[in-house]
Amino acid sequence: QQQVKQSPQSLIVQKGGISIINCAYENTAFDYFPWYQQFPGKGPALLIAIRPDVSEKKEGRFTISFNKSAKQFSLHIMDSQPGDSATYFCAASKSEYGNKLVFGAGTILRVKS
Amino acid sequence: KAGVTQTPRYLIKTRGQQVTLSCSPISGHRSVSWYQQTPGQGLQFLFEYFSETQRNKGNFPGRFSGRQFSNSRSEMNVSTLELGDSALYLCASSYYRGTEAFFGQGTRLTVV
């Protein structure tokens, strides 16, 4: 019940296209869903996060869509750029458990110029 | 504002030795969490500290331990190192428990 399943494992998108990464969770107690971006040799950087009281959150070119009934959430990267090429991780946590984040396996995104 | 600082960045240790990793959180942040990242297991939660007390622990053996000091700085210790402990160890800090977590660059531990 603690798993977060992430897909696809890897993704190739043309410059200017839309990158879509999906995550599904089982534990309905999760109430915080962040996305992280990681470049080689660096730690994960917080991109955007959502809580279940909203269905969508947008920050610049990054949008999280959240479907509580389906227990799914996704990251959309609009107008994808070569600089977006990185590994993306979704995660989930239950607030009363503090910062015990459960991570997805990661998606390697490559944006072709 | 300085980010999360982890030291050292790289470590090579021999099987059976012990190691101590250090994490300085963002100024004002009181919660520190530790994660292990490996190609096979991904990112796995080790433990969380808040107000010098361990608040949460992941599924790791007792060889993995940590502590937090009054200035919120944290250390983690791994005793009797095994080859499988080779990983990137990441520290994340947040202002309070359950708020946004920001990661450091990690310590790359290689056990030979």
Inform me whether the C-beta atom of residue B33 falls under 8 Å from chain A C-beta atoms: yes
Q: What is the pLDDT of residues B14-26, one digit of tens each?
A: 999 999 999 999 9
The stretch A62-85 carries a mean pLDDT of: 97
Helices and strands: H and E segment counts in chain B? 0, 11
Among A residues 92-111, those touching chain B with beta carbons less than 8 Å apart = 93, 95-106
CB contact under 8 A, A46 and B98: no
Q: What is the per-residue pLDDT for A97? A: 75
Q: Does B25 touch chain A (CB under 8 A)?
A: no
What is the distance in angstroms between the Cα of A87 and the nearest Cα belonging to chain B? 12
pLDDT tens, residue by residue, B68-82: 999 999 999 999 999
Query: If we measure between CA atoms, which residue out of A33, A100, A97, A20 comes closest to residue A71?
Result: A33
Distance from CA of B104 to the nearest CA of A (A): 6
Cβ neighbours of residue B104 closer than 8 Å, sequence gap 6 or more: A43, B3, B4, B5, B6, B23, B90, B91, B92, B93
Q: Do the chains contact at A98 and B4, CB–CB below 8 Å?
A: no
For the segment B82-109, what is each residue's pLDDT rounded down to a tens digit? Answer: 999 999 999 999 998 888 999 999 999 9
The answer, for A62 touching chain B at a CB cutoff of 8 Å, is: no
Chain B contact present for A29, CB below 8 A: no
Percent above pLDDT 70 for chain A: 98
* Strands laid side by side in the A19-25 sheet: A4-7, A19-25, A72-77, A62-67, A56-59
How large is the average pLDDT for residues A87-108?
A: 92
Chain-chain contact of B45 with A36 (C-beta, under 8 angstroms): no
Residue A13: band (very low, low, confident or very high) from pLDDT cuts 50, 70, 90: very high
Task: Report how far residue A23's alpha carbon sits from residue A76's, in angstroms, rounded to the nearest whole number.
Answer: 12
Q: How far is B105 from chain A (nearest CA, A)?
A: 4
A106 close to A87: Cβ distance less than 8 angstroms:
yes
CB contact under 8 A, B33 and A100: yes
Judged against a pLDDT cut of 80, whether residue A55 lies above it is answered with yes
In one-letter notation, the amino acid at residue B72 is S
Given a cut of 60, whether residue A1 has pLDDT beyond it is no
Q: Does residue A43 carry a pLDDT above 80?
A: yes
What is the pLDDT averaged over residues B54-65? 95
Given a cut of 70, whether residue A36 has pLDDT beyond it is yes
Provide the Cα torsion B85, B87, B93, B96; round to 10°. Answer: -50
- Binned at pLDDT 50, 70 and 90, residue A98 comes out as confident
Give the tokens for residue B92. 């994340």
